[in-house]
Structure formats: C-alpha cells, structure tokens
Amino acid sequence: MDFEYWWLIGFPIFFGFGWVAARIDIKHLLTESRRLPSSYFKGLNFLLNEQPDKAIEALIEVAKADRETIELHFALGSLFRRRGETERAIRMHRTLLDRGDLADEQRLQALFELAQDYLKAGLLDRAEEALVRLRIGRHRPEALSFLIEIYQQEKDWGKAIAVARELEADGGESRQKEIANYFCELAALHASHSRSEDARRCLAEALAVSRKCVRANLILGELQVAAGEHEAAIESWKRIEQQQPAYLALCARGILDALRVLGRAEEGLVLLKGYLARYPSLDLLDIAFESTLEVNGAEAAYVLVKEELRRNPTLLGLDKLLEAQIMVVPVERRPDLELVKNLVHSHTRRLARYRCENCGFKARQFYWHCPGCGGWETYPPRRTEEFDLQP
C-alpha cells in the first residue's frame, strides 16, 4: 500500500483537537467544583471520617445555600427519618412541598416521603391523608401497603379488607391469608359484642377467601359451643384435620370438653390419642395426659407419656414423664424424682415457647399476628424444641 504523505499533516491536527477537548473538559470540571459550597466538601469529609452528625449539619448548610439541591433535601429527610429524628424529617419534606418550583414528580415524591415521616412518628391520621392522595400514580403500590399497615394498627378491619383487595386486584401478590384473618378479627369483634350472626357471616367470608383458614373454624366452634351447639362445634373443629392438622392442638381441649358435655368422654380420649399418634405434638400430649389422668388414672397417664416419649424423645416430654412417674412411685421415692423434675423443668421453660418463622420472635403464647414482624400465621403451632428438631 502506498504511503499517503498527507497523513503526516493529519496526525498533529487530530492530536491538537484531542488536547483542546481535554482542556475544555478540565476547565468545565473546575468551574463546576468552584460552584459547590465549601460546606459540601466538609460534609463529605465528615462522612468519610464517620462523623454523621457533623456531616448532616454541613450538608444542611449546602441545602440552605442552594435551593437547586432537591435531591440533597430528599436524602437528608430520609436520613433524619432513619435516625428517628422525625420532626426534622417532617420539616424538611414540608419545606419541599411548600416550594412553588417543584416538578409534579418531585412534589409526589415529597408527599410520599412526608407520609412515611408521619407513619414513623405515629401520626396515623396525617399519614393516611397523605397516602390516600398517593393512591393514583407510581407510588400507588407502596401507598396501599402503608395504608394496610395503618388500618391494622387502628384495627379498622373493614378498610384493611378493602385496601388489601384493591392491592391484590392490581396484580400484586396474593393477600388471601391476610384478608381471611381480617375477617376473623371482625368476627371476634362481633362475638365480643354478642353479635353472633354477624360473626358467623364474617367467618363464612373468611372461609370463602381461604378454604384453609383454620382460625375461622376455631372461632366458629367457640361460637357454636356458646350457643349450645356442641355437636356442630365438634364437626367444625374436626374439619381442621383436612385444613392443617398441626393446628389440632389448638382445639383439642375444646373437642374433649364438648364430648364430655355430651356424655362421650371416652370417645374424646380415643379421638385425641388418634390425633397424637398421627400428628405428634407436645401440646396434644399435654392435653392427652391430663385427660387420661382424669378418665383412666395415673398409671394409664404414665404409660401414655412413656410410649409417646419413646416415639418422640424431647426434654419437654421427659418433664411430663417425670410428672407422671411421681404420681405412681412409692412416696419414699418421690423427693428424688421431684428434684430431678425441678432441674429438668427449669431447663425446659425456655423450650416451651412458640417462634415466628419469619423473624424468630419467641412468645409463651400462640399468636396469629406476630408482634415482632407483623406477619400473619407465621407461628407454627409447635413449641420451640419441636421446631428445632424438624429436619
């Protein structure tokens, strides 16, 4: 290929263009950096040196000096909220909303941030007002979720149901479990005010939403017992075996009591032992032990616990076995056994708890709504020791 001599002229020209462009970029960067207040760099320096309080004060100076720093206002407001300084966060976001030069999208963002500030501060009525205004627009899914949180705190279950259905209709994740529990909460509220028919209607709605809603059948059985419908209550509670058999422990005592009223205590004990054989549970064992002790005596109760402990060895089961053994051994041997039982019992107290599968929150009583994370039906009806032994 022939060498073109004009390339010797072109190379210096191209190099010159590149040098000029670089100089222009550097000059532009220097100009932009001179526009930034010194407080901005102080704030960055404080952040790098892990001094967040001083960094915030420095960045506030920047925000006051330059009204164009909208994103900085948002960042500071969110930081205040995370630190628990809700009053400062509210002031920051309300100041933004009062500005007349905000774009529509920025105004919606400021309103959304303000709603979260109110929620964090416990000002539920103000948070609700702001979130209702955000039900149309890109913040709609988050706004609806926050509204459900508010209605749960206020125990306004009717509104919670309406918003949950609205969120589900938008194509979000299924809310059947939550909606069914809201209906159960309404049913419990009606029952506490002696509105039995309204309560039953809500339970029917709960089961229509979720056929596996164990809680609905539990409450229905209680309503039926209160109305003297013991046979119907037993059938309602028996249906739980087809729903989620692990929850039978929550109604076992009710089944036994209802059958006892009907004069069929032995039938209740046989039914309970069958449940215990198919669905081992420490709570079921406890109820079966008490019932066997009452109907068949201490020796039969001891045999029941011993056989169950062989099948499912647990410390809580051992505690119950020692209790049964103390009843059947000669009096002179009881002090030694009582000593052992007290030692075992002191250790098993921490195992006899329920634990949330979602957040790990432990409690001595069973919850449908976790006090820790707010999840619904996140507590398996099993004690901590059983929970840990599951594969």
Q: Cα separations (Å) of 281 from 243, 278, 351, 388?
A: 17, 9, 14, 13
| Local confidence band at 301 (pLDDT 50, 70, 90 cut-offs) | confident
**For residue 330, is pLDDT > 50?**
yes
pLDDT in tens, 2-31: 445 444 454 454 444 444 444 434 344 334
The predicted structure's pLDDT at residue 352:
64
- Measured over the CA atoms of residue 274, residue 280, residue 285 and residue 286, the dihedral's sign is negative
Average pLDDT of the residues in 199-219: 96
The predicted structure's pLDDT at residue 10:
47
| Local confidence band at 243 (pLDDT 50, 70, 90 cut-offs) | very high
Mean pLDDT of the chain: 78
The predicted structure's pLDDT at residue 391:
41
| Local confidence band at 78 (pLDDT 50, 70, 90 cut-offs) | confident
Paired tokens of 50: 């892990």
**For residue 175, is pLDDT > 50?**
yes
**Which residues, in sequence order, are bridge partners of residue 362?**
355
CATH class of segment(s) 67-173: mainly alpha
pLDDT in tens, 112-143: 989 999 999 999 999 999 999 998 888 999 99
What are the φ/ψ torsions at residue 136 (nearest 5 degrees)? -115, 125
Which segment of 15-29, 45-59, 79-93, 207-221 scores lowest on mean pLDDT?
15-29
Higher-confidence residue: 316 or 265?
265
Please list, in sequence order, all residues whose beta carbon lies within 8 angstroms of the beta carbon of residue 315, skipping any fewer than 6 positions away.
Answer: 344, 347, 348, 351, 385
**For residue 99, is pLDDT > 90?**
no
The predicted structure's pLDDT at residue 160:
95
Average pLDDT of the residues in 280-286: 84
Q: How many CA atoms lie within 13 A of 387 on its CB side?
A: 17
**For residue 38, is pLDDT > 90?**
no
The predicted structure's pLDDT at residue 305:
80
The predicted structure's pLDDT at residue 54:
53
**For residue 300, is pLDDT > 70?**
yes
Average pLDDT of the residues in 186-205: 95
The predicted structure's pLDDT at residue 90:
85
**For residue 219, is pLDDT > 70?**
yes
Task: Give CA–CA dist 341/178, Å, rounded.
Answer: 42
The predicted structure's pLDDT at residue 28:
41
Higher-confidence residue: 45 or 177?
177
Higher-confidence residue: 84 or 196?
196
**For residue 82, is pLDDT > 90?**
no
What is this structure's pTM? Answer: 0.75
Average pLDDT of the residues in 379-388: 69
**For residue 100, is pLDDT > 80?**
no
The predicted structure's pLDDT at residue 45:
46
Domain-wise residue ranges, the chain: 67-173
Of 169-178, 271-280, 345-354, the range with the highest mean pLDDT is 271-280
Average pLDDT of the residues in 171-182: 88
Q: DSSP of 183-236, one letter per residue?
A: HHHHHHHHHHTT-HHHHHHHHHHHHHH-TT-HHHHHHHHHHHHHTT-HHHHHHH
